[in-house]
C-alpha cells in the first residue's frame, strides 16, 4: 500500500525545521546542502517542495506571520484604548517576542526588493491590505467610541507604512537608536492631535 504524503504539511515541516538555521545565519551564507541536512531530507526532496532557498524563507515567513497575527489579535482584544491597540500592533517592529520573525522578515524584504517575483509581491500586497484593514477597524472603533476624531480613519495606510519604514531605517542606518521609543513617541504625539478633547 502506497504511503500518502500531505505535501502541504511536508512543505511546512521542512521549512520550520530550517527556521533556526535561517535566523542564526541569514539566507546568504546558507547552502542547499546545509538546509537539506538540517531538515533531514535529501536535496532532491528539498527541490520537490521548494524552488530555491528564497522560497523556503518565504514559506517560513508565511507560517510565522499567521501565528503572529493570531497572537496580535488576542493581545489587542485585551486592551480598550485605541492608542494602546495601535502600540500593540506596532510592537512587531521592536518586541523581543518577535525577534525571530523580524530576522526572517528582513531577509524576505531584501529578497523581494532585489529579486521580486509575482508570488512574493502578491503576498506582500495581501499583508499590507490585511494590516491596513486591521488598522482601519481599530481606528473606526476609536471613532465610534468618541475617542478620536473622524478624520483619523485616513491614517490607516500611513500608520502601517510608517512603522515598517522606521523598522527598515533602523536596520540600514544608524539614525534610530531606540525604535520602540521612536514609534511610541510618534503614536503619543499623533494621539495628542487626534484624540477628542473632553
Residues in the chain: 198
| Per-residue pLDDT at 86 exceeds 90 | yes
Domain ranges of the chain: 53-194
Q: What does the pLDDT read at residue 196?
A: 93
Q: How far is CA 86 from the centre of its chain?
A: 15
Domain 53-194 has CATH 1.10.357.10: yes
Beta strands in 49-163 (DSSP E): none
Dist. CA 6–CA 4, nearest whole Å? 7
Give the residue-averaged pLDDT of 120-126. Answer: 86
| Per-residue pLDDT at 80 exceeds 80 | yes
CB distance 160 to 128 below 8 Å: yes
Give the residue-averaged pLDDT of 92-110. Answer: 87
Query: Which pLDDT band holds residue 116 (cuts at 50, 70, 90)?
Result: confident
Dist. CA 79–CA 81, nearest whole Å? 6
| Per-residue pLDDT at 98 exceeds 80 | yes
Which of residues 120 and 17 earns the better pLDDT score?
17
Q: What does the pLDDT read at residue 121?
A: 85
Least confident of 60-69, 141-150, 183-192: 60-69
What are the grid coordinates assigned to 111, written together?
529578497
Least confident of 10-19, 71-80, 126-135, 143-152: 126-135
Q: What does the pLDDT read at residue 167?
A: 87
Cα dihedral value 156, 158, 161, 166, nearest 10? -130
CB distance 105 to 61 below 8 Å: yes
Give the residue-averaged pLDDT of 140-153. Answer: 96
| DSSP code, position 81 | -
| DSSP code, position 148 | B
Q: What does the pLDDT read at residue 103?
A: 87
| Per-residue pLDDT at 83 exceeds 70 | yes
Amino acid at each position: 500500500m502506497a504511503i500518502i504524503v500531505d505535501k502541504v504539511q511536508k512543505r511546512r515541516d521542512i521549512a520550520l525545521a530550517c527556521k533556526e538555521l535561517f535566523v542564526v545565519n541569514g539566507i546568504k551564507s546558507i547552502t542547499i546542502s546545509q538546509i537539506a541536512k538540517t531538515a533531514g531530507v535529501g536535496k532532491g526532496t528539498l527541490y520537490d517542495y521548494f524552488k530555491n532557498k528564497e522560497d523556503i524563507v518565504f514559506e517560513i515567513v508565511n507560517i510565522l506571520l499567521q501565528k503572529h497575527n493570531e497572537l496580535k489579535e488576542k493581545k489587542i482584544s485585551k486592551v480598550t484604548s485605541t492608542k494602546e491597540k495601535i502600540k500593540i500592533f506596532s510592537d512587531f517592529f521592536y518586541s523581543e517576542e518577535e525577534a525571530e520573525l523580524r530576522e526572517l522578515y528582513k531577509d524576505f524584504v531584501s529578497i523581494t526588493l532585489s529579486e521580486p517575483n509575482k508570488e512574493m509581491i502578491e503576498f506582500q500586497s495581501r499583508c499590507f491590505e490585511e494590516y491596513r484593514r486591521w488598522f482601519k477597524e481599530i481606528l473606526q472603533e476609536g471613532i465610534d467610541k468618541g475617542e478620536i476624531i473622524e478624520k483619523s480613519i485616513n491614517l490607516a495606510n500611513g500608520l502601517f507604512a510608517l512603522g515598517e519604514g522606521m523598522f527598515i531605517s533602523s536596520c540600514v542606518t544608524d539614525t534610530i537608536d531606540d525604535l520602540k521609543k521612536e514609534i511610541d513617541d510618534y503614536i503619543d504625539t499623533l494621539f495628542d492631535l487626534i484624540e477628542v478633547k473632553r
